Amino acid sequence: MAKAKGAIVVDIERCKGCQVCMVNCPTDTIGMAEEVNGKGYHFAYMKNPESCTGCTNCAVVCPDGVITVYRVKQN
């Protein structure tokens, strides 16, 4: 069965750490970093990069549009 494998890239300086992407991630891929960005927000990052399927759910709910999604299909 083809399995999609994905990855996200977060624009760290634009992220406001609202965590909306985190709760809407179906595979528990996203976590909030312990360090902060230039504005003092804990930014989103891939906590479990292996589990990302590239479903784009995080990117479509992100109010600031900071997430870019990549996906490849694996056989």
Decide: residue 31, CB within 10 A, 0-12 exposed, 13-18 middle, 19+ buried.
Answer: middle
Site for other proteins in 2-61 (CB under 8 A): 5-7, 9, 11, 14, 16-20, 23-24, 41, 49, 54, 56-57, 59-61
Number of Cβ within 10 Å of residue 67's Cβ equals 21
Distance, CA of 67 to chain centre:
6
Q: Which of 1, 35, 40, 74 binds other proteins (CB under 8 A)?
A: 74
The answer to whether 63 contacts other proteins (rule: CB under 8 A) is yes
Judged by beta carbon, residue 13 or residue 34, the one nearer other proteins is 13
Helices in the chain by DSSP H: which ranges? 20-24, 57-61
Contact positions toward other proteins, by CB under 8 A? Answer: 5-7, 9, 11, 14, 16-20, 23-24, 41, 49, 54, 56-57, 59-72, 74
